[in-house]
Structure 1
Amino acid sequence: MKKKRLTAIVLDRWHKKDVIPIDNTWFIGRRLNNNIYSEQGSLLLPKNSILDIHHLELLRQHGIEVWADDTELVTDVIVDEAISEVQSIYEKIQKNSGQLSNQIIRQIVMPKIKELCFNKNLLNVILELSKKDHYTYRHCIGVAVISYLIGQWLGLKDEGLNDLAVAGLLHDLGKTKIRDSILKKEDKLSAEEYSEMKRHTYLGYEMITNLSGMTEQQALVALQHHEREDGSGYPCGVCGDKITYFSKIVAVADVFHTMVSERVYKKPVPLYQVFQEIYQRAFGLFDPIIVQCFITNVMNRMIGDLVLLSDGRVARIVMLHSDDLINPLVEYQGQYYDLRLSKNKILGFASNE
Structure 2
Amino acid sequence: MRHYLGKIAKHDMVNAFGVTVLPAGTLLREEHLILLEKHGIDNLSMFFEAARSEPAPAKSPREAVGGIVERAKALYAAIQETGQVPLKELEAEVVPAVQNVANHPNIFELFEAVKAQGDYTYEHNIGVGVLSTMIGRWLNFGEEELTALTIAATLHDVGKVKIPEAIINKPGKLTEDEFELVKKHAIYGYEILKKTEGVSYRAALVALQHHEREDGGGYPLGLTSDNIDPFSKIVAVADIFHAMSSDRPYHKALPFYEVVRQLREGYFGQLDPTIVSVFLENITTKLVGQRCLLTDERVGEIVYINPHDGEAPLVKVGEEFVDLSCERKLQIKRIIGI
> What does 1:1-353 correspond to in 2, within 5 Å?
25-26=54-55, 28-30=56-58, 73-96=59-82, 100-101=86-87, 103-342=88-327, 343-352=329-338
Q: What is the CA–CA distance in structure 1 between the aligned matches of 2:297 and 2:236, rounded to whole Å?
A: 31
Spell out, residue by residue over 1:29-88, the C-alpha distance to the aligned partner (whole angstroms, 9 max, x if none).
42xxxxxxxxxxxxxxxxxxxxxxxxxxxxxxxxxxxxxxxxxx4122112111111112
Is the alpha carbon distance of 1:250 and 1:98 closer, same or farther for their aligned partners in structure 2, counting shifts above 3 Å? closer
Gaps of 5+ in 1: 1-22, 31-72
Aligned partner of 1:311: which letter? D
- Once the two structures are TM-superposed, the CA of residue 116 in structure 1 deviates from its matched residue by 2.0
Aligned partner of 1:330: which letter? V
Q: What is the CA–CA distance in structure 1 between the aligned matches of 2:198 and 2:288, rounded to whole Å?
A: 39
Q: Is the 8 A contact 2:125 2:156 kept in 1?
A: yes
Q: Is the 8 A contact 2:73 2:122 kept in 1?
A: yes
Q: CA-atom RMSD, angstroms?
A: 1.9
- Once the two structures are TM-superposed, the CA of residue 293 in structure 1 deviates from its matched residue by 0.6
Q: Is the 8 A contact 1:205 1:222 kept in 2?
A: yes
Q: What is the CA–CA distance in structure 1 between the aligned matches of 2:179 and 2:91, rounded to whole Å?
A: 32
Aligned partner of 2:284: which letter? M
Aligned partner of 1:94: which letter? Q
Q: What is the CA–CA distance in structure 1 between the aligned matches of 2:173 and 2:84, rounded to whole Å?
A: 37
Q: Is the 8 A contact 2:103 2:134 kept in 1?
A: no
Q: What is the CA–CA distance in structure 1 between the aligned matches of 2:85 and 2:267, rounded to whole Å?
A: 40
Q: What is the CA–CA distance in structure 1 between the aligned matches of 2:151 and 2:91, rounded to whole Å?
A: 7
Q: What is the CA–CA distance in structure 2 between the aligned matches of 1:205 and 1:299, rounded to whole Å?
A: 35
Partner of 1:41: none
Residue identity (%): 36
Partner of 1:63: none
Q: Is the 8 A contact 2:170 2:249 kept in 1?
A: no
Q: Is the 8 A contact 2:83 2:192 kept in 1?
A: no
Matched residue count: 286
- Once the two structures are TM-superposed, the CA of residue 337 in structure 1 deviates from its matched residue by 2.3
TM-score, length-normalised on structure 1?
A: 0.76
- Once the two structures are TM-superposed, the CA of residue 97 in structure 1 deviates from its matched residue by 7.6
Q: Is the 8 A contact 1:226 1:233 kept in 2?
A: yes
Gaps of 5+ in 2: 1-51
Any idea what SS the aligned residue of 2:285 has?
helix
